[in-house]
């Protein structure tokens, strides 16, 4: 193979995409040529066009430190190119002897949704179409029939007398149905219990979304639109980096924060002190104290998902 | 800065019954929980903006319960703590209006208001010390700041105030 031919494989692929987008040429011929170009790219290891690199990118677990460094740089450059914001992509690793747990005091939660907004800010969630990881269910006191509740309550003041508020987000189940449903192993559970998604391996089939009994997963139907001034520059590869179109995303307990000793964004935003977060492996942590001394329950216990997210009254 | 500016409360005793982590074990686990210090946020630095003594120094204290029509009228109208049993000097010190008075007669700073509150609300004290009740920020495994009781509750009307919620989620669009 000629060297110049190899080096411009990436350019060829891009050209083909343009062609495809302008509706010239049939789908079949496009795929054929794209595949050919991809194969060419594989062979031509000298070709370092970002598009080819995207095409040939490995699964997160197979990435070497060198691969990661290059990949994170590529993401940073790409974000800078369209937004002008300098971000830092990293992948903090699970901590030894730490299993995350979340507890939420339903007596204190008053449905003010500060957690929802803080989460959106922290995790670069788009406003259009709106994606939010946390939904706050408003239901009648004395009832566990959440299906009669609503997440769309719009009130001047909360709490409304006679109602209680139950925020729902990813429960980071120990027995996660979403992980079992994924056909490409794009989602898995980390040793510290957080269920993560490799956005570059997600094919967007949404099986996991259907499998999740807590409705905790969100799909990017369009290219996520996020204003540059809302971009959070502290980005985790498996958590809050800006997602591409057509992939699933979810709450990760802000793993880029908690693995560095900080609290999740929703925790810090809660003005009522209803949210409690900590290490389930540490008997002196707040969550363990709660489990030991309060009446704690989990949502949809009968499904056997064994969540790490607990509700309690105190 | 006064010495009591930051009150370092060693709640460790209650919290860290597990604080007897063997040191070698801690070394094995670099992120082993420590719970070294929990700071209850101070309140007294808010006082100098309007010191009680600026008026009360010149007035004789009247410890009897009565209708307040002039000074502290809004406080009086809004006083909803412990039915009608409460009056100013159950908590505020007659001897030194810039201090609080425990049932034992001990005068304490506003920074330690939680001690006074929990002398009645013992159940809350237990939860507060364990980090179950109250608002904590900081690091899950390190330094923590805990809001004092009066940081969230108005002691004169301690029920948590209602709030304006953030906007509801956007309606789901059919595609």
Domain residue ranges of chain B, discontinuous segments joined by +: 3-16+32-46+65-152
Q: Which residue of B has its CA nearest to A118?
A: B166
Write down the pLDDT at residue B33.
37
In chain A, % of residues over pLDDT 70: 85
Q: Do A117 and B166 touch (CB under 8 A)?
A: yes
Whether residue B91 contacts residue B101, with contact meaning beta carbons closer than 8 Å, is answered with: yes
Q: List residues of chain B with CB under 8 Å from any CB of chain A.
A: 15-19, 29-33, 35, 127, 130-142, 147, 152, 160, 162-171, 173, 175
Q: Return the DSSP state at A229.
A: G
Sign (positive or negative) of CA dihedral B92, B93, B98, B100: negative
How far is residue A141's CA from residue A157's CA, in Å, rounded to a whole number?
17
Cα A123-A129-A130 angle, rounded to 5 deg: 50
| Unique residue bearing structure tokens 């054929």 | A32
Of the partner residues B33, B135, B162, the one whose CB lies closest to the CB of residue A158? B162
Nearest to A150 by CA among A160, A165, A170: A165
Contact B81, B153 (CB under 8 A): no
Which of A189-198, A237-246, B58-67 shows the lowest per-residue confidence on average (mean pLDDT)?
B58-67
Report CA Rg, chain A.
22
Cα radius of gyration rounded to whole Å, chain B = 21
pLDDT at position B35 over 50: no
* Euclidean distance between CA atoms A313 and B123, whole angstroms: 13
Residue A11: which domain range? 3-56
Higher-confidence position of A314 and B25: A314
Cα A193 versus chain centre, distance? 14
**Element (H or E) spanning A137, and its range?**
strand A135-140
Decide if pLDDT at B49 tops 90.
no
- Confidence band for B77, pLDDT divided at 50, 70 and 90: confident
Closest CA to A281 of B135, B37, B25, B108: B25
How close, in Å, is residue B163 to chain A by CA atoms? 5
Instruction: Answer yes or no: is A293 within a domain.
Output: no
Best CA proximity match to A169, nearest among A131, A127, A129: A131
**CA of A102: which chain B residue's CA is closest?**
B140
A33: in domain? yes
Mean pLDDT (chain B, rounded): 77
Overall domain count for chain A: 1
Instruction: Name the band, by pLDDT with cuts 50, 70 and 90, for residue A46.
Output: low
Q: Which of A244, A240, A290, A294 is nearest to A262 (CA)?
A: A240
pLDDT tens digits, A116-172: 999 999 999 999 889 999 999 999 999 888 889 999 999 999 999 999 999 999 999
Query: Residue B76 above 90 pLDDT?
Result: no
Task: Judge whether residue A32 has pLDDT over 80.
Answer: no
Please provide the average confidence, as pLDDT, over all residues in chain A: 88
Average pLDDT over residues A32-41: 59
Q: Could you tell me which residues come within 8 angstroms of residue A60 by beta carbon, excluding any fewer than 6 positions away?
A: A91, A198, A200, A201, A237, A238
pLDDT at B12 over 50: no
Residues A263-276 have a mean pLDDT of 96
Residue of A155, A289, A293 for testing the chain B interface, max B β-carbons within 10 Å: A289
Q: Chain B interface, mutation test: which of A282, A288, A296, most B Cβ atoms within 10 Å?
A: A282
**pLDDT value for B83:** 79
Tokens of B45: 């630095």
A32 within some domain? yes
Query: B166-173, long-range: CB within 8 Å, 24+ apart, which pairs?
Result: B166/A112, B166/A113, B166/A114, B166/A116, B166/A117, B167/A113, B167/A154, B168/A113, B168/A151, B168/A152, B168/A153, B168/A154, B169/A116, B169/A130, B169/A132, B169/A135, B169/A151, B169/A152, B170/A129, B170/A130, B171/A152, B173/A129
Nearest-by-CA chain A residue for B169: A152
Q: Provide the pLDDT for residue B27.
A: 38
Query: Any idea which residue has 């001047």 for tokens?
Result: A156
pLDDT band at A232 (very low <50, low <70, confident <90, very high): very high
Determine the Cα–Cα distance for residues B118 and B121; give it in Å rounded to an integer. 4
CA distance, residue A63 to nearest chain B CA (Å): 25
Express each pLDDT in A164-198 by its tens digit: 999 999 999 999 999 999 999 999 999 999 999 99
Sign of CA dihedral B147, B151, B155, B158: negative
- Mean pLDDT over A21-47 rounds to 56
Distance from CA of B8 to the nearest CA of A (A): 19
Helix locations, B50-139, DSSP H: 53-56, 73-78, 88-91, 113-120, 122-130
- pLDDT at A37 > cutoff 90: no
Q: Select from A124, A131, A48 the least CA-distant residue to A85.
A: A124
Give the whole-number percent of chain A exceeding pLDDT 90: 77
- Does residue A12 surpass a pLDDT of 60? no
Model confidence at A282: pLDDT above 70: yes
DSSP designation for A128: B
Task: Give the pLDDT score at A184.
Answer: 96
CA distance A48 to A58: 15
DSSP class per residue in A40-80: HHHH-TT---HHHHHHTPPPGGG--HHHHHHHHHHHHHHHH
In this predicted structure, which of A211-220, A290-299, B140-149 has the lowest mean pLDDT? B140-149
The pLDDT of residue B14:
35
Dist CA A285 CA A153 (whole Å):
34
Determine, yes or no, domain membership for A20.
yes
Tell me the mean pLDDT in the region A268-285: 94
Q: Note whether B165 contacts A112, CB cutoff 8 Å.
A: yes
Residue A48 lies in a domain: yes
* Sign of the CA dihedral with A18 first, then A21, A26, and A31 last: positive
The pLDDT score that the predictor gives to residue B73 is 87
Mean per-residue pLDDT, B148-167 = 92
For residue B163, give the nearest of A112, A278, A294 by CB distance. Answer: A112
pLDDT score, position A31:
59
Q: What was the ipTM of the complex prediction?
A: 0.78
Which chain B residues are closer than 8 Å to A98 by Cβ? 31
Burial of A267 (0-12, 13-18, 19+ CB in 10 A): buried
Whether the pLDDT of residue A248 is over 80: the answer is yes
pLDDT, tens digit (0-9, with 9 covering 90-100), for A78-102: 999 999 999 999 999 999 999 999 9
Q: For B93-144, what is each residue's pLDDT tens digit?
A: 988 888 999 999 999 998 889 899 999 999 998 898 888 999 998 999 888 8
B2, pLDDT greater than 60: no
């Amino acid at each position: 193979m000629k060297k110049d031919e190899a080096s411009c494989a990436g350019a060829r692929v891009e050209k083909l995409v343009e062609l495809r987008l302008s509706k010239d040429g049939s789908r079949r011929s496009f795929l054929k040529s794209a595949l050919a170009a991809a194969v060419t790219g594989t062979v031509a290891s000298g070709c370092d066009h970002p598009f080819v690199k995207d095409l040939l990118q490995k699964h997160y677990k197979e990435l070497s430190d060198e691969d990661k460094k290059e990949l994170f740089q590529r993401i940073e450059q790409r974000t800078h190119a369209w937004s002008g914001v300098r971000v830092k992509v990293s992948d903090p690793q699970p901590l030894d002897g730490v299993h995350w747990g979340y507890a939420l005091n339903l007596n204190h939660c008053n449905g003010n949704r500060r957690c929802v907004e803080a989460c959106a800010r922290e995790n670069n969630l788009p406003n259009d179409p709106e994606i939010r990881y946390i939904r706050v269910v408003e239901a009648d006191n004395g009832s566990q029939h959440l299906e009669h509740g609503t997440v769309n309550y719009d009130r001047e003041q909360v709490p409304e007398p006679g109602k209680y508020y139950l925020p729902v987000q990813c429960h980071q189940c120990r027995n996660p149905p979403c992980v079992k449903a994924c056909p490409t192993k794009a989602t898995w559970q980390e040793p510290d219990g957080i269920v993560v998604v490799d956005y570059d391996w997600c094919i967007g089939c949404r099986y996991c979304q259907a499998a999740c009994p807590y409705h905790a997963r969100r799909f990017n139907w369009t290219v996520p639109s996020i204003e540059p001034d809302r971009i959070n520059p502290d980005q985790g590869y498996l958590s809050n980096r800006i997602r591409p179109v057509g992939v699933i995303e979810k709450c990760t307990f802000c793993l880029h924060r908690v693995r560095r000793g900080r609290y999740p964004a929703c925790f810090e935003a809660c003005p009522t002190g209803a949210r409690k977060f900590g290490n389930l492996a540490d008997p002196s942590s707040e969550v363990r104290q709660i489990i030991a001394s309060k009446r704690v329950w989990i949502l949809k216990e009968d499904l056997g998902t064994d969540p790490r997210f607990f509700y309690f009254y105190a | 800065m006064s010495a009591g500016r930051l009150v370092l409360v060693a709640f460790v005793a209650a919290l860290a019954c597990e604080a007897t982590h063997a040191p070698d074990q801690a070394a094995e686990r670099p992120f082993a929980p420590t719970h070294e210090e929990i700071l209850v946020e101070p309140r007294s630095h808010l006082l100098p903006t309007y010191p009680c003594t600026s008026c009360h120094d010149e007035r004789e204290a009247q410890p009897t319960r009565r209708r307040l029509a002039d000074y502290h009228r809004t406080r009086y109208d809004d006083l909803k703590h412990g039915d009608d049993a409460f009056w100013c000097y159950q908590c505020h010190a007659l001897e030194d209006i810039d201090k609080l008075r425990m049932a034992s007669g001990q005068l304490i700073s506003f920074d330690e208001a939680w001690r006074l509150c929990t002398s009645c609300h013992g159940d809350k004290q237990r939860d507060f010390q364990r980090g179950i009740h109250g608002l904590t920020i900081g690091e899950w495994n390190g330094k923590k700041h805990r809001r004092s009781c009066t940081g969230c509750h108005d002691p004169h009307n301690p029920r948590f105030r209602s709030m304006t919620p953030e906007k509801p989620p956007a309606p789901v669009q059919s595609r």
